[in-house]
Every structure is written in C-alpha cells, then in structure tokens.
Copies of this chain bind each other. A is one copy, B any other.
C-alpha cells in the first residue's frame, strides 16, 4: 500500500483521473450521505423533508418572513420554498397571514406546534453536527470552517460567471 508523501507545491496534471481523489466527487458523496441520513431521521420522527426543515430553521430564528426572504436566507429556490411552505401549512407547523401593506406578500411564522417541533429538533441537529465534528482533530476542526467558506466563495463565482472556460 503506497502512502502519498507531501506532493510538491506545483500541482501534477495527470493523464488519469482518480475519481476517489477528486474533490468535487468526494464532496458530492459526502454531502449526499450526510443529508440522506439526516433526512431519514427528520422524516421518521417529524414527517419533515430537508427543505421543510430548512424553512423551519430559518423561521425559528426570524419572525414575519416572506417566502422571498426565505429564498435569500436558504439558497433554495422559489419553487422549493413554495412547496415546503405549503406542506408545512398542511402540518400546521407554520402560519401564514397577509401583509396588510402589500397584498402579494405573505407573512410566515412558526405555529405553536411548529415551535415545539423546532425546539425538539435543534438539539438533535447539534448532536449530529457534533458527532461529525468529533471525528476530527482539534486542528482540523479549527480549519474546516475557513476551508468551506473559501471553497464556497469560489464555487459561487463559478455558478455566477460560469466556469474558468477556454
């Protein structure tokens, strides 16, 4: 079994691609595994999908938001929000009322029941996150945040300006 030693700073461009070492691939597998596991946990206990849970997570912290404001906060799109909202309404986890000032706008809030669920999920969520973090060393934990931030910035540029083409 060969162990990679520190590669030279200059990055090597191979003729081959090792999928299992390819960052975008690994991110995708990791993120799917994590999301699916959590989705199952939420789904089983509270009949919540991930998008629905995200909406609740935001409404748990901010009151009187509109769907559009949820879009800003969640990086989800209009349609996903609309669907999550309507399913949450069906479960009575949130409430919807008209904005008197603007009759297109709908003001969303957690219902009492929703707030209760929210209060029960938050510790779970923290537990999952801690459990993930627990597998890292202190050093790694400290850097993870910054790493993700930086990658995110770059990825955002990609999706806005298109890839580093031609």
Contacts and interface: CB of A to CB of B under 8 A. Distances in A.
By DSSP majority rule, is chain A's interface helix, strand, loop, or mixed?
helix
Contacts of A18: 61
Interface string A144-166: 10111011111110110011110
Interface residues of A, number: 77
A30 B33 contact: no
A68 interface: no
Contact of A152 (B13, B30, B40, B140): B30
A33 B127 contact: no
Nearest to A25: B54
A19 B151 contact: no
Interface stretch (A84-92, A98-106, A118-126): A118-126
A31 interface: yes
Given A41-B163, A139-B143, A154-B135, A27 B34 contact: yes
B31 A128 contact: no
Nearest to A75: B29
